[in-house]
Amino acid sequence: MKKGFTLLELLIVIGILAILATTVTLVLNPAELLKQARDSQRLGDLGSVHAALSMYAATATTSPLFTATTTCTFATSTGPFPPACATNSNTSVSGSGWVNIDFNQTSGGSPLSRLPLDPVQSALYHYAFKNDDGQNTWELDAVLESNKYSPQMTSDGGNNNNYYEIGSDPGLNL
């Protein structure tokens, strides 16, 4: 007598495995998990730049602290930010980056080794920075894409529900 599996038994096992694989894929939704990971990085990046700007504002001795600028890390006229946004994807912290602040003037040196860029860096997903030299205020913006984090765009205290705003004045009206 031969020992082994029949064709019917193998087909049943393969069918069960296919159903389980499909169910796991639908439940976990890997595309949404990737969006959440990118949004988490965006929130962390903007939080780090905001903290560095706060430290700079508290310790820098130059006057004025800021020169009025609006900068985006990606050139676009179709994204959520205004077309007047100057494009600069430079990650330098010495004043030539997309945040045009010389963080090396911060007491103890720059808190950042380089400025972050959006994980997608496209017409819709990129970072924006605006400051106001008269008020010494700033705003950092990004569009969030996941279902988990996108509600923060409406509850961040800013003046625009189309993107996430953080800064000393999130209503700076970028």
pLDDT of residue 14: 97
Q: Give the pLDDT of residue 15.
A: 97
Q: What is the pLDDT of residues 79-95, one digit of tens each?
A: 666 666 778 888 999 98
What pLDDT digit, counting tens, does each position of 132-151 carry? 877 788 999 999 999 999 99
Q: 77-83 contacts: CB < 8 A, separation 24 or more?
A: 78/123, 78/124, 79/123, 79/124, 79/126, 79/143, 80/124, 80/141, 80/143, 80/160, 80/162, 80/163, 81/126, 81/128, 81/141, 81/163, 81/174, 82/174
* Arithmetic mean of pLDDT over the chain: 87
Between these two residues, 36 and 58, which has the higher pLDDT value? 36
